[in-house]
Structure 1
Amino acid sequence: MSKVFLFLKKLDFKKHHALYVMALPAVLVLLIFAYIPMFGLIMAFQDLNIAKGIFGSDFVGLKNFQFLFTTTDAWVITRNTVCYNVVFIFLNMFFAVLLSILLNEIHSKILAKTLQTQFIMPYFLSMTVVSIIVYSMLSLNNGYLNRMLMALGYNKINWYMVPKYWPFILVAVNLWKGVGYQAVVYLASISGISEEYYEVAVLEGASKFQQALYITLPHLKAIITIMLILSIGGIFRADFGLFYTVPQNSGPLYPVTDVIDTYIYRSLTTLNNAGMATAAGLYQSIVGFILVLAANKLVTKVSPENAMF
């Protein structure tokens, strides 16, 4: 109790009451939308009956998890979720760093700001808008790509019925939408690098490539590490809009577009199985948490100064 009292005393509500009042809305939002819903995790261990409610439904132990992992869908959705996210993480990081270095070389402020705005704009588009843009490109009868194919003498492709093209389409859409935002984050870090490093490098005869390799990249190591750790933590979570809205929820594409998040949604809306959906969500959270700890532990071993905690 004495430790609790000392902790409350350090908070000093009277002295910092204005700051606590300003923080209160954020704390309430976090409490209502992040912590209180955690009580719903009990559904992962129940055969949920809506009429009986959470506290009246029968407990089934780990049967929801057993059913989830014994279905053929478990391997498909886990494989798709992990593989796509691994590709997204490293491709986005590579192109974002490359783009930030190129933008940093533009000396015209007007041109630089214009290009930054254009590259970051897709990030703020909703996936509904993105899906419409993609559909305008891939529509069977009126899509731009099919028109180009027909103009070149090839047959039209029913893109929404052929799975083999979609891994490339989804990767391209993800890059187009997300790389600009990451590039601006890296660019902000680059802008903090002292110009003296580059001036000395020029005097020593270093090329632009050598400057980027030996000056820019080492200074970006900390922010790259932090973003990598955070990304690894979300490797079992997929962008629902990207995998559900963009492919138009097309059944023939499920083998390459179905991920854990879309599977949870279908479990709720089609199968009416809230227990299994909750089990899948809990599975995501636990694995993601373990991955964050593992990634941070690895960084601590290799480069302790860049670890998050």
Structure 2
Amino acid sequence: MPDIPVRKRKSVLYNLGKFKVLYLMFLPGILFLLVNNYMPMFGVLIAFKNVNYADGIWGSPWSGWDNFKYLFSTSDAWEITRNTLAYNTVFIALNLIVGVGLAILLNEVKNKAMSKLYQSLMLLPYFLSMIVVSYLVLAFLGKDSGFMNSTILQLFGGQPIDWYSEPKYWPYILPLVNTWKNIGYYAVIYLAAVVGIDEEYYEAAVLDGASKWHQIRYITVPFLVPLIVIMTLLQIGRIFYADFSLFYQVPLESGALFPVTNVLDTYVYRTFLIGGDIGMSSAAGLYQAVVGFVLVLVSNTIVRRMDKDNALF
């Protein structure tokens, strides 16, 4: 290292020796990141190739941008893009509003045993397989024996509905199912931040005559803003990714629901099943990753200009 000043070189060597145990602990995570996240990136080449199994990935001819043209030239391009963006936008909003709301409510539960019970009950659906969730939804929405048709609608004198043949209901059903399944995860994260707020702020607010709503508005929410920004930016990065199981398993692959349940992931999957073209599937994945990356950069830049301290990086 001839270009590094002697004093700086000694400082680097000193830090390496002083923190060598920490670096060794850090090493497995770095290796996992390289093997799991960076080495597979060579598969990006597949998006620009017309892959055939006889020649392999490297020997297959280049296709240029043809695989990407497929995504935008199809008649369903607008539909799947609209559904993917619209649903994820609603999911992000619900995860934020409901997650923060439940976290604040849980913080008001002073009985520790009941608080733990509520947290466990909310978090339980997060660990359920989407296949199990799809059967639970079927138990509610089944045409003949579903709880909605056999109990709720009869109670109010309504007629049974064939839920899996009526697209107009699913823009409401899918966000509801997604929120029920995932909200425990977000609520627990926000609750950890709420619990960390110093109680002295609330005591001072009470002495000044602040109501509970004013305490939430002027103390709790401002303290949660940095975490809210981080969680929102991370979700924006995956706004072009759809929960495949949610849109594939829960509607039971009903063709009548495709106009409102067909998203980019399910469309590519069905196309791959029909044509078996992994180049097109890889092009879709690369497209989602690049757009998500750009959206995170743009969103973070906007946040940085508004408040530098709340930016992700």
So what's the TM-score if we normalise by structure 1? 0.93
2:288 is the counterpart of 1:284: yes
1:96–1:179 Cα contact (<8 Å) kept: yes
Provide closer, same or farther for how the CA distance between residues 96 and 47 of structure 1 changes in structure 2, counting only shifts above 3 A: same
Residue 79 of structure 1: how far off its partner (Å): 0.8
Deviation at 1:32, TM superposition (A): 2.8
Deviation, 1:20, is 4.7
Q: What whole-Å deviation, never above 9, does each CA across 1:223-258 have from its counterpart, x for those lacking one?
A: 011111111111111111111111112222111111
Unaligned runs of 5+ in 1: none
Q: Structure 1 residue 233 and structure 2 residue 237: aligned?
A: yes
Residues matched between the structures, number: 309
Partners of 2:223 and 2:238 lie apart in 1 by: 25
| Distance in 2 between residues matched to 1:16 and 1:32, nearest whole Å | 24
Over residues 37-82 of structure 1, what are the superposed CA-to-partner deviations in whole Å (9 max), with x where a residue is unaligned? 2111111111111111111111111111112211112211111111
The aligned runs of 1:122-161 (5 Å cut-off) are 122-148=125-151, 149-150=153-154, 152-161=156-165
Unaligned ranges ≥5, structure 2: none
Match of residue 108 from structure 1: 111
Q: Provide the secondary structure at the position in 2 that maps to 1:72.
A: coil
Distance 1:58 1:145, change over 3 A: same
Structure 1 residues 255-274: aligned runs within 5 Å:
255-274=259-278
CA distance in 2, matches of 1:175, 1:215: 26
Using a 3 Å threshold, how does the CA distance of structure 1 residues 64 and 153 change in structure 2: closer, same or farther?
A: same
Is it true that 1:173 corresponds to 2:177 in the alignment? yes
How far does residue 121 in structure 1 lie from its aligned partner after superposition?
A: 1.2
Given residue 62 of structure 1, which amino acid in structure 2 is its aligned partner? W
Work out the CA distance in 2 between the residues paired with 1:135 and 1:67. Answer: 34
d(CA) in 2 for partners of 1:267, 1:273: 8
Measured at CA, do residues 171 and 10 of structure 1 come closer, stay the same or move farther in structure 2, by a change above 3 Å? farther
- In structure 2, give the amino acid aligned to 1:232: I
State yes or no: 1:193 paired with 2:185. no
- Paired position in structure 1 for 2:249: 245
Alpha-carbon separation, structure 1, partners of 2:155 and 2:201: 53
Letter of the 1:100 partner, please give it: A
Find 1:95's aligned residue among 86, 98, 110. 98
Question: What one-letter code is carried by the residue in structure 1 that aligns with 2:88?
Answer: N
| CA distance in 2: counterparts of 1:11 and 1:159, whole angstroms | 67
What is the CA–CA distance in structure 2 between the aligned matches of 1:260 and 1:3, rounded to whole Å?
Answer: 51
Residue-by-residue CA offset, 1:253-288 (whole Å, 9 max, x unaligned): 111111111122223222211111111111100100
1:49 matched to 2:58? The reply is no
1:308 equivalent to 2:312? Answer yes
Residues 283 and 142 of structure 1, relative CA distance in 2, 3 Å threshold = same
| Amino-acid identity (%) | 51
Distance 1:215 1:135, change over 3 A: same
TM (norm. structure 2) is: 0.91
Q: What is the aligned partner in structure 1 of residue 35 from structure 2?
A: 32
